[in-house]
Amino acid sequence: MSFLHFIARHWREVLAHAGEHLVLVVIAVGAAIAVGLPAGVAVVRRAWLKRPVLALAGVLQTVPSLALFGFLIPLPFVGGIGARTAVVALALYALLPIVRNTVTGIEGVDSNVREAAEAMGMTRRQVLWQVELPLASGVILAGVRVAAVISIGVATIAAAVGAGGLGAYIFRGLRQNDNALILAGAVPAALMALAADWLIGLLEARFDARARGGARRSSERARFVRRLAWAMIGVALVMGGAFAAWRIMNLSDGGGGGTPGALIRIGSKDFTESVILAEIVAQECEAAGLSVERRFELGGNLCHEALIAGQIDAYPEYTGTALTAILKRQPITDPRQVFEQVRREYAEQFGVEVGAPLGFSNDFAILVRGDDARRLQLRIISDAVPHARGWRAGFGQDFMSRADGYEGFTRAYALSFAAAPREMDLALTYRALAEGQVDIIAGNSTDGLIAALDLVQLTDDRRYFPPYEAVILTRRDALERSNALSPILNKLSGALSTAEMRRLNYEVDGEKRDVAEVVRGWRSQKSGQ
């Protein structure tokens, strides 16, 4: 019922995200056909190309999507943050079934038919267009069908690089523990995949091998193939042009309002607090007359890569994360020392200015269920050590891989669990803990879900974790480009307490309020003080 209620209230927004999703898929599959079909024909004509081309297409499909996005971001023309990177990645994923089925379909044409066509005086081009492609079209369309369905599924990841689409709802729902949001992204995507499978299946059936026969029908199929090819190219061009126009219009007003002025591109990571902090910066910039382009909810390490590549100008970060995850330095417990080292090395290595701390620290939070904490009288992490041998742990990929994460943490506290920790997305660890699938997780100390799910944070009594003071990272050239930006960032120094940040997170995650609305309320309250 909550899903239906959400759709009823936000159906325009759902349709907009579905439209973005569809545009990404159509352009990507169209590009894959434009590249994959000629590649398949070339492979058939030159047998020595078959193994390397199919191997390359296969390797591209095995690369994890977020990793592929990370590789593409720094590249000129094809990379960056947004739809362009998503289209390129989706097209690369769609190549394998199209190339493979083109090769299989053409090679499956009866050699006697091909020889008869050549005996009639047809050129190689005429044989290709009037005999081989029409007879192979059913198999080729089967590859397009698979590519389209794969692309619709993979396109949900496009939200991680700021390309929009239905994946934005899925990521947001996982982050906020909201099934309605997850369904709002998953159900339309599934319906879109079923519709694409059915529609392309109808075309495929038209060219089924069992329905073939006769020169006249072969000629009709040849004409239809040519018309279909031109129609698909036309649709891809029209939708690509419409999408480009939409992007230009979106950028012309800064991607989120604001009066005309210097364009500031602000990014955020894919969790609630980062989005809130980025929105605070965005609204402060707009209030100062700057135009803002929002590139929010970027997954993995994409914010850092986008900042270094010049795709965004600023984003919120944490000093401990910058020190250990980006600079690869050993953890330090002194907050001032961490801040100074991060500020110095970011300026030297990346040409990035580290702003003054915003006023709170979002440390790793070792969390247990409230019922367990009260029953076992758990207050500090050391209290949990005797019980941990019978517990199941669940940690995010980030915590498992970082220098200040799992390995050092368990060593510092001499912790051992009933089994190896379950490694999962950070947003899922909260749900797993609340539902009893795991007994201890590492979350974020200011997360609104702590209160919403009745979780308890255990005090780091051995002071293992380094400080994670929130700061804004800004490219030096952006500060030089806009004189108004530096005063805005200085204004935010010390502006947020830990209690305030946790309250803002709860308003979004617990009360399901819109981020922009929550930030406007906070700014109004601050200005009234």
Compute the mean pLDDT over every residue in the chain, rounded to the nearest whole number.
84
Whose CA is closest to 60, among 106, 26, 97?
97
* Confidence (pLDDT) at 342: 96
Q: What are the tens digits of pLDDT across the range 380-435?
A: 999 999 999 999 999 987 788 887 889 899 999 999 999 999 988 887 899 899 99
Q: What SS3 state is found at 120?
A: coil
Between CA 256 and CA 51 the distance in angstroms is 48
Give the pLDDT mean for 33-45. Answer: 87
* Confidence (pLDDT) at 383: 96
- State percent of the chain over pLDDT 90: 38
Give the pLDDT mean for 193-206. Answer: 83
* Confidence (pLDDT) at 69: 72
> 67 vs 102, which has greater pLDDT?
102
* Confidence (pLDDT) at 257: 40
Crossing angle between the packed helical segments 133-154 and 179-206, to the nearest 10 degrees? 180
* Confidence (pLDDT) at 41: 87
> Which range has the worst mean pLDDT, 253-257, 337-341, 507-511?
253-257
> Is residue 299 a contact partner of residue 160, using CB atoms and an 8 Å limit?
yes
Crossing angle between the packed helical segments 381-388 and 406-413, to the nearest 10 degrees? 90
Give the pLDDT mean for 490-504. Answer: 92
* Confidence (pLDDT) at 455: 93
Whose CA is closest to 448, among 512, 357, 526?
512
Give the pLDDT mean for 505-526. Answer: 91
* Tokens coding 497: 């307490």
Give the pLDDT mean for 88-102. Answer: 88
Give the pLDDT mean for 149-165. Answer: 85
Give the pLDDT mean for 219-241. Answer: 57
> Is residue 131 a contact partner of residue 112, using CB atoms and an 8 Å limit?
no
* Confidence (pLDDT) at 228: 58
> Which range has the worst mean pLDDT, 19-33, 61-75, 315-329, 440-454?
61-75
* Block residue for tokens 């989706």: 90
* Confidence (pLDDT) at 237: 55
∠ Cα 469 475 477 (to 5°): 155
* Confidence (pLDDT) at 236: 53
Element (H, E) at 201: helix 179-206
Give the pLDDT mean for 140-156. Answer: 90
Give the pLDDT mean for 434-442. Answer: 94
Confidence at 248, pLDDT banded by 50, 70, 90: very low
Between CA 35 and CA 32 the distance in angstroms is 5
- 85, pLDDT greater than 50: yes
Handedness of CA 370, 375, 380, 381 (dihedral sign): negative
Question: Helices marked H in 108-132 — which ranges?
Answer: 111-119, 124-127
* Confidence (pLDDT) at 51: 82
- 505, pLDDT greater than 80: yes
- 105, pLDDT greater than 50: yes
Instruction: Map out the domains of the chain with their CATH numbers.
Output: 2-252 (1.10.3720.10), 263-361+468-528 (3.40.190.10), 364-458 (3.40.190.120)
